[in-house]
């Protein structure tokens, strides 16, 4: 366990560095965070990183326009007052199918839902002819990229501010109950369609099953769910850092309770700069970063870590600590349940001593499930169990590739050939 402890320390140092970067954000007040704030790089350092690696500071708008894709920004209000930013790529690259008139029935809308601590940008990082969002747009789909409450694009609320504790009182249960239905309704109204495709990675699927099981009338609005590495049954993750975090989640939660809010991992320029120093191809720690990442999500090709820093810098975004906390609970129990609030609060909230399981038999929308044997977070064993419970699974495909980890479903340099060609073929049948 010597190396496992070293891994935990390294993880703690990394989290500390990130919290340090967060300390310059106004939402953080003195405390643990400002102690770690000593680690934050000076402005001059951030400027130097900007000069050395400008691609790390290019945002979604700039990235898409440099490749010739259009981008729209929409605001969607949830029932509980959050204002979400939803990005839209209404058609493909100029020159491809862009100028062709939309089919009479309209371009079929597809909602892309990112996973934990992530954002809309994740779906385009793989670039033209590879990234899922761009392949779909070039194939004639109307592509919508959601940003869940609390990430850096969706931090507004009608009555609450980001520094209010109340703003961060949500786990993936609330995201699934309120964000997903609001975004589906918005897209169907805007496109005048009756159904959409829902393509999601990891937690994006968790949200889908929350929404479809507790608000089953939404199943009728789904043409097909494409589930990339659905995070539902997580009790057999081989990831050592994940297991350590799960085993110590009570302590971590107690630590987070001392923060002014539950916000974790805000995306700041300092966080991006730290990322560069730890993980870029030129960094001294590069291989260590790749190795740590391999322990968390599954093997990274140490011969080619070109993409690693970009993916970490651009795709990660803030969330509430209650989101991983809820995952830690279901990882320990091996059951897909609502949040465990403790015996007496469970009695008050659910009328039972333990939290209820989500009624997955009500998820009647067709689902195509993809999983990878190299994924350390979501295993084929877990998704096989899921596919026996969901009533309408149309396929369960295991990707077998030497270096293909949990993140690779979206950003692997050959994700088109390994996953998306099959996905596009499947979607064409619905």
Ligand X SMILES: *[C@@H]1O[C@H](CO)[C@@H](O)[C@H](O)[C@H]1NC(C)=O
**Chain contacts with ligand X (rule: CB under 6 A):** 59-62, 92, 96-97, 138-140, 189-190, 303-304, 306-307, 413
| Encoded tokens for 86 | 């939803």
Minimum distance of ligand X from residue 307's CB (angstroms): 3
- Collapsing DSSP to helix, strand or coil, 417 comes out as helix
Options 331, 406, 408, 412, the catalytic residue = 406
Nearest residue relative to ligand X (C-beta): 140
| Encoded tokens for 226 | 């494409």
**Which of 150, 230 has the CB closer to ligand X?**
150
**Which of 393, 410 has the CB closer to ligand X?**
410
Options 118, 202, 270, 315, the catalytic residue = 202
- Collapsing DSSP to helix, strand or coil, 73 comes out as strand
Minimum distance of ligand X from residue 365's CB (angstroms): 22
Alpha helices in 172-321 (DSSP H): 172-174, 180-191, 203-214, 240-247, 249-257, 269-279, 286-297, 308-315
The Cα 78–Cα 207 span in angstroms is: 15
On whether the CB atoms of residues 205 and 119 are closer than 8 A, the answer is no
**Which of 159, 303 has the CB closer to ligand X?**
303
The Cα 377–Cα 328 span in angstroms is: 12
**Which of 266, 324 has the CB closer to ligand X?**
266
Q: Which of 243, 251, 237, 244 is nearest to 8 (CA)?
A: 244
| Encoded tokens for 127 | 């670039």
On whether the CB atoms of residues 397 and 425 are closer than 8 A, the answer is no
Helix (H) / strand (E) containing 113: strand 109-113
Minimum distance of ligand X from residue 125's CB (angstroms): 10
Active site residue 406: yes
**Which of 121, 340 has the CB closer to ligand X?**
121
Counting every residue, how long is the chain?
A: 430
Minimum distance of ligand X from residue 55's CB (angstroms): 12
Minimum distance of ligand X from residue 255's CB (angstroms): 31
Beta bridge partners of 83: 77, 156
The Cα 346–Cα 251 span in angstroms is: 21
On whether the CB atoms of residues 91 and 142 are closer than 8 A, the answer is yes
**Which of 99, 344 has the CB closer to ligand X?**
99
Three-state secondary structure readout of 17-62: HHHHHHCCCCCCCCCHHHHHHHHCCCHHHHHHHHHHCHHHHCCHHH
Active site residue 301: no
Minimum distance of ligand X from residue 295's CB (angstroms): 16
Looking from the CA of 18 toward its CB, the CA atoms found within 13 Å total: 18
Active site residue 185: no
Options 120, 375, 387, 412, the catalytic residue = 375
**Which of 60, 203 has the CB closer to ligand X?**
60
Minimum distance of ligand X from residue 190's CB (angstroms): 5
The Cα 325–Cα 331 span in angstroms is: 10
User: Which residues are known catalytic residues?
Assistant: 202, 375, 406
């Amino acid at each position: 366990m010597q190396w496992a402890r070293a891994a935990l320390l390294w993880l703690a140092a990394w989290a500390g560095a990130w919290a340090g970067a967060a300390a310059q954000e106004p939402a953080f007040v003195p405390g643990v965070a400002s102690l770690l704030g000593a680690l934050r790089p000076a402005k001059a350092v951030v400027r130097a990183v900007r000069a050395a690696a400008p691609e790390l500071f290019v945002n979604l708008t700039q990235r898409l326009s440099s490749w010739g894709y259009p981008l729209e920004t929409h605001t969607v209000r949830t029932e509980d007052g959050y204002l979400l930013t939803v990005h839209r790529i209404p058609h493909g690259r100029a020159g491809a199918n862009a100028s062709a008139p939309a089919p009479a029935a309209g371009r079929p809308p597809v909602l892309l839902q990112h996973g934990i601590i992530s954002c809309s940008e994740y779906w385009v990082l793989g670039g033209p002819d590879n990234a899922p969002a761009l392949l779909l747009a070039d194939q004639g789909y109307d592509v919508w990229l959601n940003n869940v409450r609390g990430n850096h694009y969706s931090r507004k609320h009608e009555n609450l501010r980001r520094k209010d504790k109340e703003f961060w009182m949500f786990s993936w249960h609330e995201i699934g109950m309120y964000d997903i239905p609001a975004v589906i309704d918005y897209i169907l109204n805007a496109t005048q369609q009756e159904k959409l495709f829902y393509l999601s990675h990891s937690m994006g699927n968790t949200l889908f099953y929350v929404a479809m099981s507790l608000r089953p009338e939404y199943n009728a609005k789904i043409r097909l769910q494409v589930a990339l590495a659905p995070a539902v049954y997580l009790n057999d993750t081989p990831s050592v850092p994940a297991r350590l975090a799960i085993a110590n989640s009570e302590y971590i939660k107690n630590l987070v309770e001392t923060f002014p809010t539950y916000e974790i991992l805000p995306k700041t320029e300092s966080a991006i700069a730290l990322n560069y120093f730890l993980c870029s191809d030129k960094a001294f720690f590069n291989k260590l970063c790749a190795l740590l990442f391999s322990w968390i999500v599954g093997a990274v090709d140490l011969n080619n870590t070109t993409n690693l820093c970009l993916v970490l810098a651009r795709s990660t975004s803030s969330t509430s600590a209650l989101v991983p906390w809820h995952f830690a609970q279901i990882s320990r129990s091996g059951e897909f349940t609502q949040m465990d609030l403790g015996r007496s609060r469970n009695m008050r909230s659910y009328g039972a001593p333990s939290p209820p399981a989500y009624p997955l038999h009500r998820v009647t929308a067709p689902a195509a499930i993809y999983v990878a044997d190299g994924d350390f977070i979501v295993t084929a064993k877990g998704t096989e169990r899921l596919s026996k419970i969901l009533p309408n699974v149309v396929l369960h495909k295991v990707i077998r590739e030497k270096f293909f980890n949990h993140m690779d479903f979206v950003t692997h340099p050959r994700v088109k050939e390994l996953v998306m060609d099959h996905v596009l073929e499947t979607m064409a049948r619905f």
